[in-house]
Structure 1
C-alpha cells in the first residue's frame, strides 16, 4: 500500500510514534525515525530493514535540527511523501493557576509549534509528491475539556486549527492534511497521568479528574497503539486521498 513512498515520523522512539513507524514500514514505506532519544535505534531494530530506515536525531523545538533532519531524509530516499507530526509531551498535571509560564511555553513549543516547524521544512517536498500527506497526532483533549491539563489541551486544540488551515494551504498541490485524535492510549504515559491526577486529591483547592466508564461509549475504552497507527497508514495511503482537513477521533466514543 505504501511501497515507493517515504515517511518522516517524529517522536518515533517510543509509544504511538514507534507503532506508527513500524506499521508504515510494514506497509512498504521508507521511514525516517526522528526523535531526541536513542530509542529511534531500537525502533529501527524492530523494523529490521537498513535499506528502508533512517535514524535522524531531531529536536522539534530547534528549527535548524528539523531542517537538517528532513533534508537528510530527502537525500537518503530521494523525496518525501508523508509527514507524521507525533512528537509531543504530556506537560504538567496541575490546576491552571499552579502552572508556571515556562511550562506553558514548552508544551506549546513541542506539541504545536514543533509540528509547524516540521511542515515548514517538509512542505516543499510534499508538494512534489503525487501522494503527499501530513498526519498530525492530536488528542481528544483537542475536542473536550481536560481538567488540570490546560497547556496540553490548548496545544491539541491548536493542532485542529493548524490542520484545517494547512489543508487549504497545501491542498492546491494535492497534499492532504488531517489530525488523528486518540483517546487514552494504553501505555506508560496514561498510567503516569492517572497517578498525577489522583495525587491532587491531597492538594488544597484542587479537584482530581478521573477517567472512567461513564466518559466513553464503549466499555473497553483504552486505545491500542496499533489502532492509531493503522489510521495513520490509511490516511497516508492511496485510499485516503480525498480525506483532508479532518479530525478523526479514535476514542471509544469519548467525544460523542
Structure 2
C-alpha cells in the first residue's frame, strides 16, 4: 500500500506512465507531470479520477516546476513522494561528434530537472511524515556504454545527487533512493538499439545481444513492471529505513 500524494515526472509515456498508474492503484493520490499531452491520456487510463491530476510541466523550467508542485499541494493537501523519472536518451556517437547543445540538453533534462523538482518539493516532503524521493538513474550510470557520454555522465550524476540528498533530507525522515534499470523493453530502448546497430554496422538483433543481453544473468531485457514495482516498494512504509541506495533492476548485469 502506498499512501499520501506522489508527484511523478515524465508521466506521459513509458515507465513514468506505468509508475503513476501503479502508485494510484496502490492507494496514492498522483500528479502526472510532463510536457506532452500524453499525461491526459495517461490520467484517463487510471480508474481513480478524483485521485489523479495531470499537470503540464517542463522540468528544465523552474517556474513551471514550482507552479506544478504548488498546484499538486493545493489539490491534495500536501506532498509525500517525488518520483524523478523524466529523462532523455541523448545522442549515440563518439564524443568528437557530439554537439555542445546535445550535451547540455541531456544534462538539463536528466540532472537539472531532478535538481529543480527536488528543490521545490523538498519543503513539502520535509513536512510529511513519510517523505520519499525516488530518482530513476540507470545501470549505465555505473557501467557506461560506449558512445553514450552525455547519458552515462548524467546518470552517474543522478546517483551522486541521490546519495547527497539522502543525508541532506534525512534529518526530516525523508528517504532518497535511486532505481537503476537495465535495458528495459519499450520504444526508448528500441531507438537506442537501432542507433547502436548503426554505429556498429550490425543488425538490430546482433546489437541487442552484444550491447544489452549477452552479459545479463537472465539473458533478456527488463520488463517495465519490474521498475514500477521497485518504485512502489521504495514509496511504501515497508522501505522507511532504506535510503541513500542505488538499487539495480537489470536482469543481472551489474553487482555494485
TM, length-normalised to structure 1: 0.95
- How far residue 135 of structure 1 moved from its aligned partner, in angstroms, is 0.1
- How far residue 201 of structure 1 moved from its aligned partner, in angstroms, is 3.4
Q: Could you report, residue by residue, the CA deviation over 1:21-64 in whole angstroms, capped at 9, with x for unpaired residues?
A: 00000000000000000110111011032210001000001000
Matched position secondary structure for 1:42 = helix
- Paired position in structure 2 for 1:229: 228
Matched position secondary structure for 2:176 = strand
* Alignment partners' CA distance in 1, 2:189 and 2:55: 27
Matched position secondary structure for 1:161 = helix
> Number of matched residues?
250
The alignment's C-alpha RMSD in Å is 1.4
- How far residue 253 of structure 1 moved from its aligned partner, in angstroms, is 1.1
Partners of 2:213 and 2:221 within 8 A in 1: no
Q: Could you report, residue by residue, the CA deviation over 1:223-245 in whole angstroms, capped at 9, with x for unpaired residues?
A: 11111001101101001100000
* Alignment partners' CA distance in 2, 1:93 and 1:29: 37
- How far residue 109 of structure 1 moved from its aligned partner, in angstroms, is 0.3
Matched position secondary structure for 1:34 = strand
* Alignment partners' CA distance in 2, 1:100 and 1:255: 30
* Alignment partners' CA distance in 2, 1:246 and 1:159: 12
Q: Could you report, residue by residue, the CA deviation over 1:43-88 in whole angstroms, capped at 9, with x for unpaired residues?
A: 1011032210001000001000000000000000000000000000
- Paired position in structure 2 for 1:89: 88
- Paired position in structure 2 for 1:218: 218
* Alignment partners' CA distance in 2, 1:229 and 1:213: 21
* Alignment partners' CA distance in 2, 1:2 and 1:100: 42
Q: Could you report, residue by residue, the CA deviation over 1:92-135 in whole angstroms, capped at 9, with x for unpaired residues?
A: 01111100011101100000110010000000000010110000
